[in-house]
Structure 1
Amino acid sequence: MDNNFLTVDDVAKTLKITRQTVSKYIQKKELNAVKINKNYRVSYQDFENFLSSNSMVSEPETLYLKKSRNCYLDYEGKSNEIEILNYKPLGYLKSINDENQSLPNKMVFGDNYYVLKTLLPKYKNKVDLIYIDPPFGTGLNFSNIENDLAYSDKLVNSEFLEFIRKRLFLLRDFLSDNGSIYLHIDKKIGHYVKIIMDEVFGYENFINDITRIKCNPKNFSRNAYGNYSDMILFYAKNRDKNIWNEIKEPLTKEEEIDSFPKIHPVYGRYTTNPIHAPGITIDGDTGKEWKGILPPKGRHWRYSREELTRLDDLGLIEWSENGNPRKMVFANEHKGKKVQDVWNFKDKGLSYVDYPTQKNHDLLKRIILNSSNKDSLIIDCFAGSGSTLLVANQLNRNWIGIDNSNQSFDVIKQTFKKEKIKCNFYEYVSID
């Protein structure tokens, strides 16, 4: 079943009536329904409208939206998903500068809602990664160090949530079956956005709520804890099918000293591990005597006796005073540690960047390396400084950027010229 609709059977079960009765409601146009793959489907909003206008219907079982873990964010002005997806604006993309038509890489100036609508037919189900850092619903304007307006963040509360929600429905349709989306947002409103993303992508496709340390600790005078972090919401189009490259993080110097406390005169820091493992090998090689000793009771050698001899001949087996052998493991062979869900990527101050709220390139690199492959297509429809596009290009990914800020467009053109990045520039022209 399409997760955005109820089937006829769902409606019948909820209302405690027969399937045939539901069909009669649809035929009489008392219950609005659409045909999807030759079967009728009822949107949640249409079902709610039906309930509110039909008091003769028996009290239904509590209806929960299937994608939001028993909660539903309702607010004035919330649009129907069908209306969002079916709306077709009259507009087109006008070329400003085509540098290489053979490349998909493009930057489009315009309202991302209309631009996404225009691009969707060509790129539906073809994008492996979306990273967006939208306005945070602060009600403020943001300017650069010279006080030039970069963008306005005047939408707040429900208006802001609906602004994001409309674009998320479109972005979902861009994602490939192996695609992911990372949404960077402030904690003050991020938890509401989480519910919206559950609705759009399905709570079952939620992967992580990442805490990002964005600045040094603050010393506010107000009666509250200092706020020095924001959040990144990570969802897949289809959980467990999304691209995941498991990029490891190198140990810090302190962690390396703690994990590898000993020092080898040639190979550097090391620790030792047992050369036996749980389980008994009765007839195999790893259960037999080696160098005059047997494995401990209930265990077997972790390696073949030939391999143990080879390691020992190379001086890579350390023998304790009481004759206990252990294998040396060196720090320079460590493949790194698993990345956790707290990231320390601080933003640079306004005097060090070309665009306010410009994101740390190392943060973007981690996301792109983990959740896309070479030649994957990446979208950032709140492109801002163009950092996502720049890092994607450095990592041999294809990319599409969108923004409606004049300063954003100027900064990106200057950066791309400096870095010798080829890009096809367009602007959205409305003919409504």
Structure 2
Amino acid sequence: MAQNNKNKLELTWIGKYDEHQSLEPRILIENKEYSYGKPETSTLPNGKPWNGNMLIHGDNLLALKALEQDLSGQVKCIYIDPPFNTGSRIDADGKEIGYDDGIEHSTWLSMMYARFNVLYNLLREDGAIFVHLDDNEADYCKIILDEIFGRSNFMNRITVDARSPSAFSTVNPGMFVSSEYILFYAKDRSNLIENRIRVPRTPDYAYNKFILNYDLPYSEWEFISVSEAFSKYGKVKSSNPETILKAYNKFIIENAERICRYTAISDSGAGQKVIELKKKSLVNPNDIFMLERNGLDNIYIINGQQLAFYSKNIQEIDGKCQPSKLLTDIWTDIAWEGIAKEGGVTFKRGKKPEKLIKRCLEIATSNPEDIVLDSFLGSGTTAAVAQKMDRRYIGIELGNHAYTHCVPRLKMVTDGTDQGGISKTQNWHGGSGFKFYELAPSLLKEDKYGNLVINKEYNADMLAAAMAKQEGYTYHPDQEVYWKQGFGSETDFIYTTTQFMTVEALSAIHDTMAEEETLLICCTAFQKECKQAFGNITIKKIPQMLLGRCEFDKDDYSLNIIDMPEMMESEEEETEE
């Protein structure tokens, strides 16, 4: 830890302050061979088009930079599960794992630091990020996130019970490690609406009073024990203890509105009206008093104590009414065993349960318009969950498993044939779809003399799109006016051409322009007279106008990702942790 000249504590490491050229803002090219379904299109709040769910194959730092111009401030929720930097590529069974995450510590920090800065820019002001890690880097990562997001925007460190001791694991000495962590940050805590989540729990038998005549006015209520009520009204003929307990639990759920218990009223924490009623009830034993509250549940008080009703703890969760409790920052209720085939793909020691991702999205998103992003997509779990929850999504994956895992999995989600994971609780039967994109190659490449020249892989449309992105314009070719290839505002346009630009050609364009319109022309060569020909036309030469602007001809900022095994390994090879 160090304190910089702005009086802000931050984590420093070798290489953090090394000079790096700016990332090249690449374009994305749709590969229609892998796009699937009918993803919904719309317009983003910033006025730019949303062309549907995105699955991007390519270096995730470059891909994030490619998204930044159009999607800055548009993403509602980010979940990432980056390499844990464990120092090993071999799992407990002696098999090679997907990520080569044994990266030297300072390199890991530098790579994540660069990504977090772009992710921060992509988040909405009311957005949130969830970063899933283990003990190896979680504490260092938190300090980085404190620096970028602000310590005041730290919401929770969620502890996840990620694995159970197995016969293999228990032979090793020392304490068995079962925990992983999710660092939960808001972009701006004051803007984030954190949805309250309830989770299933065992029945709470402390609620032991049953109101016999609940339908009568509260002043006439009579109480018996819940066990007496069950004996009297419960419908069970079996003498089997398990059957009786099951029937009892069903009974208290079905009668939750008339089941209650006494709770103490704190003189220091309760409101004045509640305290007054408490005092009144103490001098009127066994009488029930009620405080009516507009828009809130009424409060009932008897013998100086409040009646707490069991119905407040019964909630429909995953389509089933059951006892519940408020979600805490310790998650032990999500099963990790048996997820090996979730989504129809196998992903050793990297796959997360769909239910885990669903919970994160439930906390931070509410609407179908919300965009979810995962830049370490792995086997595609986050995208699959987002689609089943009717959220828009962007998934980025560098490895070959973008083809072998993510695409097949999301096709099954789109078709509705994937009925595992959260499909049944979401009543998912298919729909929507996704577009598959490749990260374009670098716009400029070195020639044999070491000079940066326009990449020969770029055709005219690609070049026009790339130059629009480089100059901060939205690429959107006009169907009628050829030189309106992109716009910066309603009256500012860009035109890119490889043709030699003459004054005559420039004049022909100028004659078709409205008085208030301006135009930037990017071309490979032009007559020098073009420079001053018209006040509302600016002309620049490529590639010279781009030199020194960003780091061209670099394609790999990766965290050393290697290919994953093919889809659906044999059952003999699968293990459950």
TM-score w.r.t. structure 2 length? 0.53
Candidates 349, 359, 362, aligned match of 2:355:
362
* Alignment equivalent of 2:366, drawn from 365, 373, 378: 373
* CA deviation profile, 1:295-337 (whole Å, cap 9, x unmatched): 3359993336xxxxxx9xxxxx999xxx999857234763542
Matching of residues 309-320 of structure 1 within 5 Å:
none
Local SS of the residue matching 1:134: coil
Gaps of 5+ in 1: 1-47, 49-61, 288-292, 305-310, 312-316
Q: Partner residue of 1:155?
A: 103
Tell whether 2:403 aligns with 1:403. no
Q: Which residue of 2 aligns with 1:302?
A: 290
The Cα shift of 1:405 comes to 1.1
Check if 1:197 corresponds to 2:145: yes
Q: Give deviations 1:20-72, integer Å, cap 9, x for gaps.
A: xxxxxxxxxxxxxxxxxxxxxxxxxxxx9xxxxxxxxxxxxx757655xx4x3
In structure 2, what is the equivalent of residue 110 of structure 1? Answer: 58
- Alignment counterpart, residue 393 of structure 1, candidates 380, 387, 392: 387
Instruction: Please name the residue that 2:15 is paired with.
Output: 77
**Whole-Å separation in 2 of the counterparts to 1:349 and 1:415:** 17
- AA at the equivalent of 2:437: Y
Counterpart check, 1:271 vs 2:265: no
Answering whether residue 327 of structure 2 is matched by residue 339 of structure 1, we say: yes
Contact 2:383–2:410 under 8 Å retained in 1: no
Residue by residue over 1:380-415, the C-alpha shift from the partner in whole angstroms, topping out at 9 and shown as x without a partner, is 000111111111111111100001011243211111
In the alignment, does 2:200 pair up with 1:250?
A: yes
Report if aligned partners of 2:73, 2:123 keep a CA contact under 8 Å in 1. yes
Superposed CA offset, 1:193-248 (max 9, x none)? 11111111111111111111001136555553211111111111111321311122
After superposition, the Cα gap between the structure-2 partners of 1:414 and 1:278, relative to the gap in structure 1 and judged at 3 Å, is closer
CA distance in 1 between partners of 2:143 and 2:289 (Å): 52
Change (3 A) 1:326 1:380: closer
Does 2:406 correspond to 1:412? yes
Question: What amino acid sits opposite 2:161 in the alignment?
Answer: I
Cα offsets for 1:47-100 (capped at 9, x unmatched): x9xxxxxxxxxxxxx757655xx4x322211146xx67x713163212112444
Cα distance change, pair 370–224 in 1 and its aligned pair in 2 (3 A): same
Aligned to 2:82: 134
Instruction: Please list, as runs of the form range in 1=range in 2, the aligned pairs for 1:42-191 lying within 5 A after superposition.
Output: 63=4, 70=9, 72-79=10-17, 87-89=22-24, 91-97=26-32, 98-99=35-36, 100=38, 102=41, 103-141=51-89, 150-191=98-139
CA distance in 1: counterparts of 2:387 and 2:187, whole angstroms: 23
Letter in 2 for 1:330: Y
Rg bigger for which structure? 2
Give, in whole Å, the separation in 1 of the partners of 2:274 and 2:107. 67
Amino acid at match of 2:281: P
Identity of aligned residues (%): 26
Tell me the alpha carbon deviations over residues 159-213 of structure 1, each in whole angstroms, 9 at most, x when there is no partner. 1111111100110000100011000001122111111111111111111111110
Counterpart residue number, 1:430: 441
Instruction: Check whether the contact 1:141–1:149 (CA below 8 A) recurs between aligned residues.
Output: yes
Residue type of the partner of 1:78? Answer: K
Per-residue CA deviation, residues 263-301 of structure 1 (Å, 9 max, x unaligned), is 24375462234799874699xxx97xxxxx963359993
Q: 2:90, 2:408 → 1: CA distance? A: 20
Q: Secondary structure at the match of 1:141?
A: coil
What is the aligned partner in structure 1 of residue 417 from structure 2?
A: none
Contact conserved, 2:207 with 2:261, CA < 8 A, in 1?
no
Q: State the partner residue of 2:155.
A: 207
Residue 181 of structure 1 aligns to a residue whose secondary structure is: strand
**What letter corresponds to residue 314 of structure 2 in structure 1?**
H
The amino acid of 2:11's aligned partner reads L
- The structure 2 residue matched to 1:224, chosen from 148, 156, 174, is 174
User: Cα distance 1:325–1:398, how it changes in 2: closer, same or farther (>3 A)?
Assistant: closer
The answer to whether the Cα contact below 8 Å between 2:77 and 2:371 also exists between their aligned partners in 1 is yes
Contact kept? 2:30, 2:436, Cα under 8 Å: yes
Please give the secondary structure, in 1, of the residue aligned with 2:366.
Answer: coil
Change (3 A) 1:275 1:111: closer
Over 3 Å counting, the alpha-carbon distance change for 1:66 and 1:76 in structure 2 is same
Q: CA deviation at 1:352?
A: 3.7
CA contact (8 A) 2:90 2:97 kept: yes
The offset of 1:418, in angstroms, is: 1.5
What is the CA RMSD across the aligned residues, in angstroms? 3.8
Q: Cα distance, 1:259 vs. partner?
A: 4.4
Q: Please name the residue that 2:185 is paired with.
A: 235
Do the aligned partners of 1:133 and 1:184 also contact (CA within 8 Å) in 2? yes
Residues 188/149 of structure 1: CA separation in 2 closer, same or farther (3 Å cut): closer
C-alpha separation between the residues in 2 aligned to 1:409 and 1:208?
35
Shift of 1:154: 3.7
User: What TM-score, normalized to structure 1?
Assistant: 0.69
1:223 to 1:278, Cα distance in 2 relative to 1, 3 A = same
Contact preservation (8 Å) 1:90, 1:430 = no
Please say which of residues 147-156 and 127-136 is displaced more in the overlay: 147-156
Distance 1:324 1:87, change over 3 A: closer
Q: Structure 2, unaligned stretches of length 5 or more?
A: 42-50, 210-224, 235-253, 293-297, 316-323, 415-431, 443-552, 554-577
2: CA distance between counterparts of 1:141 and 1:161? 19
